[in-house]
């Protein structure tokens, strides 16, 4: 991708270019603060990108505003669902069930610098995130439901910088000292969210409209450099239309289903700054076998693919489409 | 229980054999109308229900039943099942119509 990588490139390039050439080792407090803000936003964004539902696994390509395009690979695994029998909420005509949801994933990108100052340098940033939480789903009708949830997320982000340019060979120690490169950070994130869902059944086809506003507060609790100190707020508002079509044909004793979705996510706060984009779009298609109530924790297994695009990046993913349900 | 046509070597099983059995069977669920089960000849006969329908999910072919002992079971029904004719609260009779497979290992 992506904006994140572009951001890294821009930050690093900015920081290093701002140094007066005769005294490269002199980084002013103002310059350092400017760089730290960018890096901290990026760590927050990468943690969310790695551990949250925000973006599925895949291969992404930045066409961003940095001097170099960057490729990023992400992997994701997660699921959600309600469990137990439906209960009545007091005397109200509302049914509810507890809900569990979890997600984990990694983001791995390499930025090969080809600018004159940093030519040949390699910056590799990896982020791992895992989140788990729950809440409840409340049905107001058979079709319309709300699910308030709260999740906690742990994130681990590292940067490794390989200096080959004359400039960075000389300045690598200084850049490391101020927390520009070769850093690591551990973060926690709390994520309250609300899922608003309407399911329309047309014969056996399910059309699901959903809206998911989410707030994320992220803070670092451990880092390799005192200048890496994350504490920020991000918001994401995800809107999705999904169609799930049973095909009425059996394969390997399971019914074939097809479908897909279009999803648009608006980004606000630090995640918008860190990813350098205000929105993400995804269009997804799938062909799967129905395993619901036939294999533990599984709704379907099959093949699927997504195409992603935003204001300055594109991406795609193809692979096993596995829907986990609790 | 009626063995289906694919069940083989049933004659080799003797009374008193110790066996480990793996059973696959076909169930039929009949919806009662006013406590009566329509017969083949079109005449209805009164029948005691075995369970009531808790939930019907036609898209994924799920039928959730609650038996008279309060046990809850969700069945994955066949493509030919007429789920559109069932709804929550219906009283039903559950019958085993055919034994599809019985794997017996003698000890």
Q: What is the pLDDT of residues A267-311, one digit of tens each?
A: 898 888 777 778 889 999 999 999 998 888 889 999 999 998 887
The answer to whether A293 contacts B59, with C-beta atoms less than 8 Å apart, is no
Check: CB of residue A256 under 8 Å from CB of residue A289. Answer: yes
Check: CB of residue A49 under 8 Å from CB of residue A62. Answer: no
* pLDDT recorded at residue A280: 87
More confident of the two residues A316 and A210: A210
pLDDT over 50 at A59, yes or no? yes
Q: Compute the distance between CA of residue A18 and CA of residue A11 in angstroms, rounded to an integer.
A: 10
Contacts of B61 in chain A (CB under 8 A): 255, 290
* pLDDT recorded at residue B20: 67
More confident of the two residues B17 and B52: B52
* pLDDT recorded at residue A61: 67
pLDDT over 60 at A64, yes or no? no
3-class SS at A16? helix
Is the predicted ipTM greater than 0.85, yes or no? no
* pLDDT recorded at residue A154: 94
Query: In chain B, helix, strand, coil percent, each to 5?
Result: 5, 50, 45
Chain A interface includes B52 (CB < 8 A): no
* pLDDT recorded at residue A153: 93
More confident of the two residues A30 and A225: A225
The answer to whether A255 contacts B61, with C-beta atoms less than 8 Å apart, is yes
* pLDDT recorded at residue A66: 52
* pLDDT recorded at residue A33: 59
pLDDT over 70 at A25, yes or no? no
Per-residue pLDDT, averaged over A202-209, amounts to 96
CA angle B86, A248, A197 (to 5 degrees): 65
For chain A, the average pLDDT equals 81
* pLDDT recorded at residue A18: 36
Q: What is the pLDDT of residues A219-262, one digit of tens each?
A: 989 988 887 777 889 999 999 999 999 999 999 989 999 999 99
Domain around A181: 3-115+124-324
* Range among A146-150, A278-282, B29-33, B102-106 rated most confident: A146-150
Confidence of residue A63 (pLDDT cuts 50, 70, 90): low
Q: Compute the distance between CA of residue B83 and CA of residue A243 in angstroms, rounded to an integer.
A: 21
Q: What is the pLDDT of residues A67-116, one digit of tens each?
A: 455 667 888 888 888 888 789 999 999 999 999 999 898 988 777 777 77
B106: CB partners within 8 A, 6+ apart: B17, B18, B19
Q: What is the pLDDT of residues B83-96, one digit of tens each?
A: 888 889 999 988 87
* pLDDT recorded at residue B2: 62
The answer to whether A201 contacts B76, with C-beta atoms less than 8 Å apart, is no
* Gap from B23 CA to chain A (nearest CA, Å): 16
Contacts of B76 in chain A (CB under 8 A): 292-294
Check: CB of residue A34 under 8 Å from CB of residue A19. Answer: no
A76-80: long-range pairs with CB below 8 Å, 24+: A76/A103, A76/A104, A76/A105, A77/A103, A77/A104, A77/A105, A77/A324, A78/A53, A78/A102, A78/A103, A78/A104, A78/A105, A78/A324, A79/A103, A79/A297, A79/A323, A79/A324, A79/A325, A79/A326, A80/A324, A80/A325, A80/A326
pLDDT over 50 at A7, yes or no? no
Range with lowest mean pLDDT among A47-51, A271-275, B4-8: B4-8
Least CA distance to A199: which residue of chain B?
B59
**Closest CB to A246 among B54, B55, B59:** B59
Chain B interface includes A150 (CB < 8 A): no
* pLDDT recorded at residue A248: 94
* pLDDT recorded at residue A96: 96
Nearest-CA neighbor of A289 among A243, A318, A246, A260? A246
* pLDDT recorded at residue A29: 61
* pLDDT recorded at residue B97: 67
Contacts of A86 in chain B (CB under 8 A): 55
CATH, residue A309? 2.40.128.130
Q: For chain A, what is the domain count?
A: 1
CA dihedral A139, A145, A151, A156 (to 10 degrees): 140
The answer to whether B60 contacts A248, with C-beta atoms less than 8 Å apart, is no
Chain A interface includes B59 (CB < 8 A): yes
Share of chain A above pLDDT 90, in %: 38
* pLDDT recorded at residue A67: 47
Per-residue pLDDT, averaged over A25-31, amounts to 54
Looking up tokens 């995800």 gives A238
What residues does A132 pair with on adjacent strands? A102, A152
Q: Where are the alpha helices (DSSP H) in chain A?
A: 3-18, 29-51, 166-177, 270-275
Instruction: Give the Cβ contact number of residue B65 at 10 Å.
Output: 19
More confident of the two residues A133 and A19: A133
Tokens standing for residue A326: 């609790």
Chain A interface includes B76 (CB < 8 A): yes
Report the sign of the C-alpha dihedral through residues A114, A117, A121, A124, in that order: negative
pLDDT over 70 at B11, yes or no? yes
Instruction: Give the Cβ contact number of residue B106 at 10 Å.
Output: 10
Tokens standing for residue A60: 């992404």
* pLDDT recorded at residue B19: 65
* pLDDT recorded at residue A5: 29
Confidence of residue A313 (pLDDT cuts 50, 70, 90): confident
Contacts of B88 in chain A (CB under 8 A): none
For chain B, the average pLDDT equals 80
């Amino acid at each position: 991708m992506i904006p994140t990588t572009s951001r890294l490139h821009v930050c690093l390039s900015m920081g290093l270019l701002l140094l007066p050439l005769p005294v490269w080792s002199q980084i002013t407090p103002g310059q350092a603060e400017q760089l730290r803000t960018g890096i901290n936003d990026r760590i927050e964004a990468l943690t969310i990108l790695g551990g949250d539902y925000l973006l599925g696994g895949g291969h992404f390509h930045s066409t961003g505003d940095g001097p170099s395009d960057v490729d990023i690979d992400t992997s994701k695994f997660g699921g959600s669902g309600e469990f137990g029998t439906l209960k009545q909420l007091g005397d109200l005509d509302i049914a509810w069930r507890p809900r569990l949801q979890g997600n984990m994933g990694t983001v791995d990108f390499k930025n090969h610098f080809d600018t004159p100052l940093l030519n040949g340098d390699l910056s590799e940033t990896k982020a791992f995130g895992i989140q788990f939480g729950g809440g409840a789903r409340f049905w107001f009708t058979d079709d319309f439901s709300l699910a308030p949830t709260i999740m906690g997320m742990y994130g681990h982000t590292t940067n490794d910088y390989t200096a080959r340019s004359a400039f960075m060979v000389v300045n690598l120690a200084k850049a490391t000292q101020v927390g520009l490169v070769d850093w690591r950070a551990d973060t926690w994130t709390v994520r309250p969210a609300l899922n608003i869902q309407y399911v329309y059944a047309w014969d056996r086809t399910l059309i699901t409209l959903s809206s998911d506003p989410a707030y994320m507060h992220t803070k670092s609790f451990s880092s390799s450099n005192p200048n890496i100190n994350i504490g920020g707020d991000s918001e994401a508002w995800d809107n999705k239309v999904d169609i799930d079509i049973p095909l009425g044909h059996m394969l390997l004793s399971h019914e074939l289903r097809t479908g897909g979705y279009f999803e648009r996510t608006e980004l606000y706060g630090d995640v918008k700054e860190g990813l350098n984009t205000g929105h993400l779009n995804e269009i997804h298609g799938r062909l799967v076998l129905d395993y619901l109530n036939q294999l533990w924790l599984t709704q379907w297994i099959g093949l699927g693919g997504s195409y992603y695009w935003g204001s300055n990046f594109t991406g795609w993913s193809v692979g096993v489409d596995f829907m986990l349900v609790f | 229980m009626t063995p289906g046509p694919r069940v083989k070597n049933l004659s080799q099983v003797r009374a008193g054999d110790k066996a480990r059995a793996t059973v696959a069977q076909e169930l039929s669920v009949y919806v009662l109308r006013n406590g009566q089960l329509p017969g083949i000849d079109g005449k209805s006969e009164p029948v005691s229900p075995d369970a009531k329908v808790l939930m019907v999910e036609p898209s994924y072919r799920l039928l959730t039943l609650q038996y008279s002992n309060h046990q809850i079971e969700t069945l994955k029904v066949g493509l030919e099942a007429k789920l559109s004719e069932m709804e929550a609260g219906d009283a039903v009779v559950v019958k085993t119509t055919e034994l599809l497979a019985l794997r017996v290992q003698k000890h």
